[in-house]
Structure 1
Amino acid sequence: MEYLKADLKQKQRIFAKDGAQVGMIRIMMSDGTSANILYRVMRWFAEHNLAIIAYAFQWLNKFLNGCVIGIGADFDKGFVIMHPIGIVINSKVKGGKNITLESGVVIGDEKGESPTFGQNIFIGAGAKVIGKLTVEDDVKIGANAVLTKSAPAGSTMLGIPAKPYHKKTSGDV
């Protein structure tokens, strides 16, 4: 319950940052919250060695929200799913605090290895993060980016394959 409460509070902070001061009831009714709730319930059952029940909640999340999150996927407090449709997350994925996902994000395995995430990560709509790599703290991964190599702290990763974006200054040609 502690993790779910932190997830909802983080979602409320995201809305406030975008200029929408909304109450917890509005957060509970917003897109993606049911996927977050089902993920946290699934993880609770998985952590308490009740995998068959965890799989039932995984299936329910897939059926109701159109997202598949492996029962071993482990995200710390502040995990936010803004729009759940098309999200696929491998069971071996590990993530720190305050990770936000948009729709269509795929976080996948390559040759038995999955990504690890630091804290304060944003992953844009349609982005793919594949293989054994580390996404360090304070990283933004742009919409439709394909990340196959580690992302340094504080970077914005864009493109296919994703590379750090460097804002041009007035002196750049």
Structure 2
Amino acid sequence: MIHSKEDLRRYMEADRVMLEREGARPGPVDYVWKFERLLRRSEYWHNRPKTPLSLVWGKFLSLRLARMEARLGFSIPLNVFDSGLSIAHIGPIVVSPHARIGRNCRIHVGVNIGTRAGVPNEAPIIGDDVYIGPGAKLFGRIEIANRIAIGANAVVNKSFTEPGVSIAGVPAKKISEKGNPDYRDNDSK
């Protein structure tokens, strides 16, 4: 969670690296990077001690974030993703506010990370360095281990606790021993 300006800088730098952007500032049409920067600034102001300034500025940022989410098709609540978020494309992504997602998550269009039907607080807990392919659906009180790759259009309704594997299918099952790489060990980024 972002609690200080140093946390904010660290999160934004990790997001920039995962998005493979050259500069700290987004280009004029780099909407994903603009969104992620706004998301992180909104988290920072939301988590600050409540003062008149933080309440007003936080409300302003939350309104800007809501407008941008509507334009891009994202529904991503504050304080769900750890550092290193990488949204691959503009398009519908829906994430429950009860989900918890670790560092260096790569998420594609059409993904839904939700709760079990009728139980709003039973949402997935996803580890570090997880790749979530286009159209994947994850729901319920499940755990996804570190470095797992989730295939396109997979429906994940049970936990996968073995790290470094690939899962796919409806319902999802283990299909390979080769999962997602650990980006923190990659010196080329």
Q: TM-score over 0.5 for the alignment?
A: yes
Structure 1 residues 131 and 61, CA, compared in 2 at 3 Å: closer, same or farther? farther
**Percent identical:** 28
Tell me how far 1:155 sits from its aligned partner. Answer: 1.4
Q: 2:18 aligns with which of 10, 14, 20?
A: 10
Figure out how many residues of one structure are paired with residues of the other and give that number: 157
Could you tell me how far apart the structure 2 residues matched to 1:64 and 1:45 are? Answer: 22
Alignment match, 1:43: 43
Q: 1:60 aligns with which of 60, 67, 72?
A: 67
Could you tell me how far apart the structure 2 residues matched to 1:58 and 1:108 are? Answer: 20
- TM-score w.r.t. the length of structure 1 is 0.80
Deviations 1:84-112 (Å, cap 9, x if unpaired)?
Answer: 31001111111211101011111111112
| 1:138 has 2:147 as partner | yes
- TM-score w.r.t. the length of structure 2 is 0.73
How large is the RMSD of aligned CA atoms in angstroms? 2.3
Q: 1:122 aligns with which of 125, 128, 131?
A: 131
Alignment match, 2:184: none
Q: Which runs of 4+ in 1 moved over 6 A?
A: none
Could you tell me how far apart the structure 1 residues matched to 2:175 and 2:31 are? Answer: 29
| 1:163 has 2:173 as partner | yes
| 1:84 has 2:83 as partner | no
User: What amino acid is the match of 1:2?
Assistant: R
Alignment match, 1:170: none
Q: Structure 1: any 5+ residue segments left out of the alignment?
A: 13-21, 168-173
Q: Structure 2: any 5+ residue segments left out of the alignment?
A: 1-8, 178-189
Tell me how far 1:120 sits from its aligned partner. Answer: 0.6
Q: 2:108 aligns with which of 102, 105, 108?
A: 102
Alignment match, 1:23: 22
Deviations 1:119-168 (Å, cap 9, x if unpaired)?
Answer: 1100001111111111100100011101011123111110111111047x
Deviations 1:43-91 (Å, cap 9, x if unpaired)?
Answer: 22321254644642441232231101123x4222111111131001111
